[in-house]
Chains A and B, each alone.
Chain A
Amino acid sequence: MIKWWKILSALLILYTLVWGLLNPVPRLDILNETIRNVYYHVPIWFAMLFQMGYSVVFAIKQLGKNDMRSDLISNQAAQVGLFLSIPGLLTGCMWAKFTWGTWWTFEDPKLNGVAIAVLIYLAYFILRSSIIDELKRARIAAVYNIFAFVMMFVFIMILPRLTDSLHPGNGGNPAFGKYDLDSNMRTVFYPAVIGWVLLSLWILDIKKRLATLHYQKHEE
């Protein structure tokens, strides 16, 4: 049986794909039509951060209750988060190419933050694969997950506010909320955020079920 929010997520993303290209947007220098990328690039990052936060919540749960179920969810959510970083990076690179004139720049703390986040989660999976004992793996992975998430949070949320960034809302650049994201764009942006977060939950749901089946088969 398919749940209602899965249908909602599909409808919302479909709506943003169509209406995101059709609805009027403010004419801004440099950004021009690329401003529509706000509907795709930003929600994907939100969904990624959501999944990583989800992973950490279950890591904390795992440490508290020491059950394998939380570990499984935490691991799967981290995988979904890492997976979402790929479209996030691709849309970001494209956007950067057409506005800043380069695919990638090391000057921007947000870009560096994302690169670090990807490295952190790769390290997380390497750590997981290097421990054989299940319970031990669950606990140690949870510890690293929590610690790494806090450091990543510092990197992505706090450091950019201190240094110059090319991103809007940092280092003297106007934030989208202030000038650019007019009421017209909000009608697409907010549904897009909800849609992508729901989609990420959908992916997680499937992965969770698959992993549970694997686990049960392994147990027998």
Chain B
Amino acid sequence: MQNGRLSHLIKKEFLLEFRQKSTFAGILVYIVATVFVSALSFKKIIHPTVWNALFWVIFMFIAVNVSSKSFHGETKGKGLFNYLYYNPRQFILGKIIYNMLLMAALSLLTFFFYSWFVGSMVQDMGMFLATLLFSSTAFSGVLSLMSAIASKANNNMSLMAILSFPVLMPLLLVSIKLSKHAIDGLAWSVSYNYLLILIMLNFVVIALATILFNYLWRE
């Protein structure tokens, strides 16, 4: 029964997202437009540090923008239904897992368009993709909780950004460091420490989000 409901939740999120084709198309246009603007304004990026920083800043804004919507549809009536039907742990896990899948896909898309328009500098593709994967999962853990908080507090967009940016910073810095290593093509032994921290952060973030959401959801 437990598993059945969790998978229902994730399926529900997907259905809601893709029933309205405009929302996903909107995200895609957002990514392409942002990357295109940066490609036009930078013309050509020679320095790997700049390439790296720009990529992560773009990705962070996309992640915050996309996940700020994740509690938007939870109206009063629906909230009551969810409250009666699911337990909070399942509910937030459903959101987090859905966001993880979405964010991982978006990070790949962002990377695809970014390397198309701006050019790719990555030497160690395996490491870069691993960094992308783990950081997008951790991002979605943080941002799911933050969007739950923001939705309880009048749900304005700026609050979401104010709450999430400082909290995302440790994650972002580790990701930037790791992806810099991937760009420079350093040996994996150099990056193990950081990769370990990133994975550990994943666990911490998801555990905290599931525990704390319990208290947010009671009205």
Task: State in angstroms the CA–CA spacing of A125 and B158 once bound together.
Answer: 14
Which of A28-36, A155-163, A179-187, A192-200 touches B? A155-163
Smallest CB–CB gap between A159 and chain B, Å? 6
Answer yes or no: A90 CB below 8 A from chain B CBs. Answer: no
Q: Which of A126, A146, A147, A151 contacts B162 (CB 8 A)?
A: A126
Structural contact, B167 and A120, CB atoms closer than 8 A: yes
B170 contacts A155, C-beta separation under 8 Å: yes
Q: Does A15 make an interface contact (CB < 8 A)?
A: no
Are B208 and A147 neighbours in the complex by a CB distance under 8 Å?
yes
Flag whether A131 is at the interface (Cβ < 8 A): yes
| Residues of chain A within 8 A of B162, CB atoms compared | 123, 126-127
B216 A143 Cβ-Cβ under 8 A: yes
CB atoms of A131 and B152 under 8 A apart: yes
Q: Say if the beta carbon of A136 comes within 8 Å of chain B.
A: yes
Which applies to chain A's interface (DSSP): helix, strand, loop or mixed?
helix
Verify if A110 is at the interface (C-beta below 8 Å from B). no
A152 to B208, CA, bound (A): 14
A50 contacts chain B at the CB level, 8 A cutoff: no
| Interface size counted on chain A using CB atoms at 8 A | 27
Contact assessment for B167 and A147 in the assembled complex, using a CB-CB cutoff below 8 Å: yes
What's the nearest-Cβ distance from chain A to residue B216, in Å? 6
B194 at the interface (CB under 8 A from A): yes
* Distance of B110 from chain A, by nearest CB (Å): 23
Query: Nearest-CB distance from B190 to chain A (Å)?
Result: 11
Q: Which of A136, A140, A146, A148 contacts B166 (CB 8 A)?
A: A148
- A154→B166 contact, CB < 8 A: no
Q: How far is A155 from B49 in the complex, measured between Cα atoms in Å?
A: 21
**A119 part of interface (Cβ distance < 8 Å):** yes
Q: Which residues of A contact B166 (CB under 8 A)?
A: 116, 119-120, 123, 148, 151
Q: Please tell me if the beta carbons of B152 and A159 are within 8 angstroms of each other in the complex.
A: no
A140 touches B159 (CB 8 A): no
Q: Which residue of A lies closest to B154 (CB)?
A: A130
Known A126-B159, A147-B145; contact A140-B216, beta-carbon cutoff 8 A: yes
Closest CB in chain A relative to B13 CB, distance in Å: 22
Main secondary structure on chain B at its contact with chain A? helix
Q: Considering the chains assembled together, what is the distance between the CA atoms of A155 and B171 in angstroms? A: 9
A151→B208 CA distance, assembly (Å): 10
A19, B65: Cα distance in complex, Å? 54
Q: In whole angstroms, how far apart are the Cα atoms of A63 and B218 in the complex?
A: 11
Min CB distance, B76 to chain A, in Å? 14
Residues from chain B with Cβ under 8 Å of A148 in the complex: 166-167
Residues of chain B lying within 8 A (CB to CB) of residue A63: 215
- Does B33 belong to the interface (CB within 8 Å)? no
Say whether A150 faces chain B, with CB atoms less than 8 Å apart. yes
Q: Which of B171-219 contact A (CB under 8 A)?
A: 173-174, 177, 193-194, 197, 201, 204, 208-209, 212, 215-216, 218-219
Bound Cα distance from A154 to B142, whole angstroms: 14
| Structural contact, B159 and A127, CB atoms closer than 8 A | yes
- Render B138-182 as a binary contact track against A, CB cut-off 8 A, 1 for contact: 000010010001001110100100110111011001100100000
A162/B197 in contact, CB under 8 A? yes
The CA-CA distance from A143 to B209 in the complex, in Å, is 9
What's the minimum C-beta distance from A100 to chain B, rounded to whole angstroms?
A: 21
Report B-chain residues with C-beta under 8 Å of the C-beta of A41. none
B residues near A47, Cβ cutoff 8 Å = none
Beyond the given A131-B152, A154-B204, please list 7 additional residue pairs across the A-B interface where CB-CB is below 8 A: A112-B173, A120-B166, A123-B166, A143-B212, A143-B216, A146-B208, A151-B170
Which residues of B are at the interface with A, using a C-beta cutoff of 8 A? 142, 145, 149, 152-154, 156, 159, 162-163, 165-167, 169-170, 173-174, 177, 193-194, 197, 201, 204, 208-209, 212, 215-216, 218-219
| Residues of chain A at the chain B interface (Cβ within 8 Å) | 63, 112, 116, 119-120, 123, 126-127, 130-131, 136, 139-140, 142-144, 146-148, 150-151, 154-155, 158-159, 162-163
* 11 A/B residue pairs, CB under 8 Å, sorted by A: A116-B166, A119-B166, A126-B159, A130-B153, A147-B145, A147-B167, A148-B166, A148-B167, A151-B166, A154-B170, A162-B194
